Structure 1
Amino acid sequence: MVEHGMGTGAVGAGIDAIPVDRRAPLPPTDSVLARIRSQLTEFTGALQRVADQVLADPAGAARATIVELAERSGTSPATVTRFCRALGFEGYAGLRLGIAAETGRARSAGWSVDIGREIQPGDPLDRVLDQIMAADTRAMHDTAALLDLDEVARAAEAIAGADRVNIFGASGSALVGEEMQFSLHRIGVAAWAWSDVHEGLAGAALLRPGDVALGVSHSGQTRETIELLAEAGSHGATTVALTSFPRSELAELADIVLLTASQATTFRPDALSARHPQLVVLDLLYIAVAQRTHDRAHAAFQRTAQAVQGHKSAGRPT
């Protein structure tokens, strides 16, 4: 789902980022299904049909022979083999074992991880809560498996040394970016989150080498966010993409890519299901920046806490 409407600022960096080779293999992950979802935009034609079939019925794929999976997806055994190799498996046996292990864990955990059920109008709130928690928990676990911590460290180093940080995003991604801007601002990082595309372009045009621009987009295809990150990069800023799709246009133009996963459900679109994983990754990035700027961050915490102390109720935390 592509976000609409512009918003959110950027992040500054003090080191030159090394361009990422998008043809390199994805970081390893224990979740086969998360790996398939993250590469959906890369698959085309027959490979796409195999991916759709596996995601539609993972348990069935784990039980099926290579011929049966080929028939169900309307492809051939050779196509299934190519699909397995695209995911990093030597053959179909590895894919089957990976899916079987994953679906087996889900069965043993019970219905709490069964997020494919629709929520009915008459469902009690405790069941609705379990559905939401199951979806978010799975998405965050998948994100932890997909995330390249070396990339997080590179982004943190860049932001820690930056004079200016701009964060760009649209719709829900704008809200996520604003959370990051607030966190960075609190530890003394000069960060802006732009809510207007024209203002964002002006801000991007003023960036220089050593500054950082962070683009947030679940799909990686949001036109405004791509344009803003490209503008920032053209002026020498280190560009960081936070997205669920490593082969998206946003990821392709970024120096550093931070991956998130989303757990598709029948009650919430992908872009919304990616919100919490995005916040988790940015929380990790924020803490990594604070670690690298410990003395400055500690002093900033003390000053900001003292500044607002008079607006707190006596004896009660806020």
Structure 2
Amino acid sequence: MLIKEKMQTEKFSTSEQAIIAFLLENPETLDNLTVQQIATKTYTHPSALIRLAKKLGFSGYSELRNAYLEEWKYLNSHFPSIDANLPFTNQDGLITIAQKMARLTQNTVEDTLSLLHHDELKRAKEILLKADNIRIFGTNANTLISQDFALKMNRIRKNVATSTNLAESLYEAYNCPSTSCGILLSYTGENLSILRIAQALKERGLPVIAITSIGENSLSKLADCVLSITTRERLYSKIGNFTINTSICYLLDVLYSVVFAENYQKNLDHLIEIGQVIDQRTSSLSVIQEK
């Protein structure tokens, strides 16, 4: 759940509600206001801001302000002209549709990059490097998307498997070797099947990397590391899962790349060596021919 949504749905005292109304109406001014100034403007006591922050799960007002501003800036950036749910209309021509989809893809990658934090990415890399077995759990299209990641990782001798049978996924989670880790994909972070898998992995002491939406959700609470998906699409009133799929693909490519980079030359030499033996394709185009 977003901080904004928590402010609008949970129960607060009269003074706390006054502060919330001010925060929601004036996010662009918060960087320049002290606790005392906000208290004066809302006719409350500074201690009310501390109580509000703690009710929302933060240690103090500064932590709440920083997290709220980060959320607000995210929700108001990167998608100035494209609707993630309806990126084109029935009046658009072929090239216009192609142009809009290109812009949507570019915006999505930039949007996802803005959500990446160095420490979380570093933690994810460490988990993947340490694991002897990596198991990916998702549903529907997420399962298909993850297969390319598994293929690339396996080619550099990292043992990755995608769980393709949802009915068997929980069994697979309980049967993972002790040196395994899990990558769990869920846009909402509330998919009950995925949550049961996360709980099974945690019970066995196996680390969990969650790829999910922004804000607090049940999956992010269970995970050791969270990578955020661009969060712009509604659940079903849309043309397709364009931004979700692009965002997941990008994050999985980033994970593969940071693992690859840990032993860059060794991995590159290995791919070239096995490619020379296995890949027998030819082409008349000089640009793609091997030298």
Amino acid at match of 1:286: Y
Q: For residues 161 and 171 of structure 1, do their structure 2 counterparts lie closer, same or farther at Cα, with a shift above 3 Å needed?
A: same
TM-score for the superposition, normalised by structure 2? 0.69
Q: Which moved more, 1:269-278 or 1:220-229?
A: 269-278
* Residue equivalent to 2:200: 231
Q: Secondary structure at the match of 1:155?
A: helix
- Of 93, 104, 115, the residue aligned with 1:124 is 93
CA contact (8 A) 1:147 1:260 kept: no
Q: Secondary structure at the match of 2:138?
A: strand
Q: Secondary structure at the match of 1:170?
A: coil
Q: How does 1:129-168 map to 2 (within 5 A)?
A: 129-168=98-137
Partners in 1 of 2:181 and 2:87 — Cα distance? 41
- Of 138, 146, 155, the residue aligned with 1:186 is 155
- Of 230, 239, 249, the residue aligned with 1:279 is 249
* Residue equivalent to 1:45: 9
Partners in 2 of 1:41 and 1:194 — Cα distance? 33
Partners in 2 of 1:296 and 1:201 — Cα distance? 35
Name stretches of at least 5 consecutive residues in structure 1 with no aligned partner. 1-36, 48-59, 64-76, 107-111
* Residue equivalent to 1:14: none
- Of 255, 258, 266, the residue aligned with 2:224 is 255
Q: Rg larger in 1 or in 2?
A: 2
Q: Secondary structure at the match of 2:238?
A: coil
Q: Secondary structure at the match of 1:214?
A: strand
TM-score for the superposition, normalised by structure 1? 0.63
* Residue equivalent to 1:302: 272
Q: For residues 118 and 215 of structure 1, do their structure 2 counterparts lie closer, same or farther at Cα, with a shift above 3 Å needed?
A: closer
Q: For residues 182 and 127 of structure 1, do their structure 2 counterparts lie closer, same or farther at Cα, with a shift above 3 Å needed?
A: same
CA contact (8 A) 1:173 1:218 kept: no
Amino acid at match of 2:261: Q
Q: Secondary structure at the match of 2:279?
A: helix
CA contact (8 A) 1:214 1:229 kept: no
Q: 1:255, CA displacement in angstroms?
A: 0.8
Partners in 2 of 1:221 and 1:113 — Cα distance? 28
Superimposed CA distance per residue, residues 53-78 of structure 1 (whole angstroms, 9 cap, x where no aligned partner): xxxxxxx9899xxxxxxxxxxxxx79
Quote the RMSD (CA, aligned, Å).
Answer: 4.2
CA contact (8 A) 2:139 2:166 kept: no
**Structure 1 position 288 matched with structure 2 position 288:** no
Q: For residues 158 and 118 of structure 1, do their structure 2 counterparts lie closer, same or farther at Cα, with a shift above 3 Å needed?
A: closer
**Structure 1 position 175 matched with structure 2 position 144:** yes
Q: Secondary structure at the match of 1:200?
A: helix
Amino acid at match of 1:177: S
Partners in 1 of 2:222 and 2:64 — Cα distance? 24
* Residue equivalent to 2:81: 114
Partners in 2 of 1:219 and 1:41 — Cα distance? 15
Amino acid at match of 1:115: I
CA contact (8 A) 1:113 1:135 kept: no
Partners in 1 of 2:220 and 2:170 — Cα distance? 19
CA contact (8 A) 1:219 1:271 kept: no
Q: For residues 238 and 129 of structure 1, do their structure 2 counterparts lie closer, same or farther at Cα, with a shift above 3 Å needed?
A: same
* Residue equivalent to 1:69: none
Q: 1:88, CA displacement in angstroms?
A: 4.6
Q: For residues 124 and 113 of structure 1, do their structure 2 counterparts lie closer, same or farther at Cα, with a shift above 3 Å needed?
A: farther
Superimposed CA distance per residue, residues 30-61 of structure 1 (whole angstroms, 9 cap, x where no aligned partner): xxxxxxx96566454279xxxxxxxxxxxx98
Name stretches of at least 5 consecutive residues in structure 2 with no aligned partner. 12-24, 29-41, 44-48, 54-60
Amino acid at match of 1:293: N
Q: For residues 183 and 304 of structure 1, do their structure 2 counterparts lie closer, same or farther at Cα, with a shift above 3 Å needed?
A: same
Q: Secondary structure at the match of 2:92?
A: coil
Partners in 2 of 1:141 and 1:314 — Cα distance? 34
Q: Secondary structure at the match of 2:255?
A: helix
Amino acid at match of 2:246: H
Q: Secondary structure at the match of 1:274?
A: helix
CA contact (8 A) 1:214 1:241 kept: yes
RCO higher in 1 or 2 (8 Å CA, sep ≥ 6)?
1
Q: For residues 120 and 223 of structure 1, do their structure 2 counterparts lie closer, same or farther at Cα, with a shift above 3 Å needed?
A: same
* Residue equivalent to 1:18: none
Partners in 1 of 2:62 and 2:111 — Cα distance? 19
Q: For residues 236 and 89 of structure 1, do their structure 2 counterparts lie closer, same or farther at Cα, with a shift above 3 Å needed?
A: closer
